[in-house]
Amino acid sequence: MASIAAAVPSTVHDPERPAAALASAVGDGSEPVGDAVPAHGLPDYLQRTYRWAYLDRRMLYWLDRPAVVSAILWGNAGRLMDAAASCFDSGQHVLQAAAVYGDFSLRLASRLGRHGRLEVLDAAPLQVANLRRKLRGHGNVSARVHDLRRPLARRYDGVCCFFLLHEVPAEMRRCIVNNLLAVVAPGGKVVFVDYHRPRAGHPLRWPMQWVFNRFEPFAASLLGQDLTTLAGERPDFEWQRTLFFGGMYQLVVARSNASNAPKHSQEVFASV
């Protein structure tokens, strides 16, 4: 997913303009602009499976609207975004793993306040450019190109991964999850929000199966997977999962502990 509702400038409408040029044109001045595709290239799965959603400027114009994001999540977008943002505190330095359509980054940046800092990473230069455009003027936000399969050198008070894992092949999830866990400071947390297998009899169970088969080929493998297993043996983290909307969505918090004492996972159900 990726960004906020606003009129998209003419630079986005030109299908012939390269993404790198767009990134240079709409940088917000908070960091160097002109990001090109990384030397190692865009992830193959992104180019093959999600080009239409994240690498096409014409689709970006239609998808990057709160109403569209809300429809995709069956009216739960605002609720899930607020639940994720509420896991962090004012003044914290937080990493957002991948750009998100709609106003999620704005909500998270507002939660962190002017003394906090939000850094957004995405493998697609077009998404980085679009996020900079949307949040131009917000001095506590920066965005840059980075493939999350690669390690990060910085440390953060918290990390938020909002509907990313279902979009990457199953064999890549462990690498991404462990890279995110590796950068959180002691006492900090990593927050994952994503799809989950809905309870038996859920009226949207089969419609969503069709959606996954048609548009989200990697999602089905995530539905029954315990996210804690992606981290391997990590006694330095305590895990808690909250389910939403009849189990269709999950919010998983991995909290870093000062000690290495083993912690048990917890699960709670939010009201439908």
Instruction: Please state, in angstroms and as integers, the Cα–Cα distance from residue 245 to each residue in 74, 79, 163, 265, following that order.
Output: 9, 10, 15, 21
Beta strand segments in 98-181, E? 117-122, 141-145, 156-162
What is the rounded average pLDDT of the residues 123-130? 97
Model pLDDT, residue 144: 96
Distance CA 93, CA 157 (A): 5
- pLDDT band for 270, please (50, 70, 90 cuts): low
- pLDDT band for 54, please (50, 70, 90 cuts): very high
Helix, strand, or coil (residue 168): coil
What is the rounded average pLDDT of the residues 240-257? 97
pTM equals 0.83
Q: Is the Cα torsion angle 242, 250, 144, 106 positive or negative in sign?
A: negative
Model pLDDT, residue 28: 37
Model pLDDT, residue 27: 38
Question: What residues have CB less than 8 Å from 246, skipping those under 6 apart?
Answer: 198, 199, 202, 204, 272
Model pLDDT, residue 41: 77
Model pLDDT, residue 232: 82
Which of these ranges, 31-35, 53-57, 137-141, has the smallest mean pLDDT?
Answer: 31-35
Q: Is the pLDDT of residue 75 over 90?
A: yes
- Per-chain mean pLDDT for the chain: 85
Which of these ranges, 108-112, 182-186, 268-272, has the smallest mean pLDDT?
Answer: 268-272
Q: Is the pLDDT of residue 25 over 60?
A: no
Helical packing angle, 77-85 and 104-112, nearest 10°: 30
CB 94 within 8 A of CB 161: no
Q: Is the pLDDT of residue 238 over 60?
A: yes
Question: Architecture of domain 10-269 in CATH?
Answer: 3-Layer(aba) Sandwich (3.40)
- pLDDT band for 224, please (50, 70, 90 cuts): confident
- pLDDT band for 269, please (50, 70, 90 cuts): low
Distance CA 205, CA 9 (A): 38
Q: What is the pLDDT of residues 152-202, one digit of tens each?
A: 999 999 999 999 999 999 999 999 999 999 999 999 999 999 999 999 999
Model pLDDT, residue 233: 81
What is the rounded average pLDDT of the residues 95-103? 98
